[in-house]
Amino acid sequence: MTTHDGGCLCGQTRYRTHGEPEFSIVCHCRTCQLRTGSAFGFAAYFKDEQIEFLSGNRKTFEFHSDESDRWIRTEFCDTCGTTLSWTLEMRPGFRAIAGGTFDDPGWHGITRQIWTRSSHDWLAHIDALPSFEKAVY
């Protein structure tokens, strides 16, 4: 089984994934923009049992979506604040791993982009990917 390791900026918190993700996305929603401080979020979604946290401590922040009122729990390193993963009420049994935190962030590619209605005008979409104005899983 393929494994991929990753972790936070300071190196305190490390994880390992086992196998392939169910899907990988670029998300343009406003929540991901605020959560990452960037134009979009980039994530690989795995089943919970495919992820092993190896070291470090994580803090959790939970909030509810403006549109659906469903919760999103973001986990981040308690030392440096790097967002490592999140879980979604709408996707039980799965955990997203922040794509940029993998030691090799490009190994899994992207299978779709979502919440394109919230993307910035100056951001060119990746035309070859399936694109959705709202969340589609």
Give me the residue spans of the domains in the chain: 3-118
The structure's pTM equals 0.82
* pLDDT higher at 50 or 129: 50
Closest among 31, 17, 1, 11 to 99, alpha carbons compared: 17
DSSP 16: E
Query: In sequence order, which residues have a C-beta less than 8 Å from that of residue 34 and are 6 or more positions away?
Result: none
> 3-118 adopts what CATH topology?
2.170.150
Residue 111 and residue 102 in contact, taking contact as beta carbons nearer than 8 Å: no
pLDDT for position 40: 81
Residue range 91-105, pLDDT digits in tens: 899 999 999 999 998
User: d(Cα 62, Cα 118) in Å, to the nearest integer?
Assistant: 21
Confidence band (pLDDT; 50, 70, 90) for 25? confident
Q: Give bridge partners of residue 61 from the DSSP assignment.
A: 74
The residue type found at 64 is H
Q: How many CA atoms lie within 13 A of 83 on its CB side?
A: 24
User: d(Cα 19, Cα 7) in Å, to the nearest integer?
Assistant: 17
Which whole number is the average pLDDT over 31-37? 83
Residue 55 and residue 19 in contact, taking contact as beta carbons nearer than 8 Å: no
Length of the chain in terms of residues written: 137
Q: Give bridge partners of residue 42 from the DSSP assignment.
A: 26
Confidence band (pLDDT; 50, 70, 90) for 52? very high
- The first and second tokens of residue 92, run together, are 């039980």
Which whole number is the average pLDDT over 51-74? 90
Residue range 78-134, pLDDT digits in tens: 999 999 999 999 889 999 999 999 999 888 778 777 677 777 676 666 665 655 556
* pLDDT higher at 137 or 114: 114
pLDDT for position 136: 60
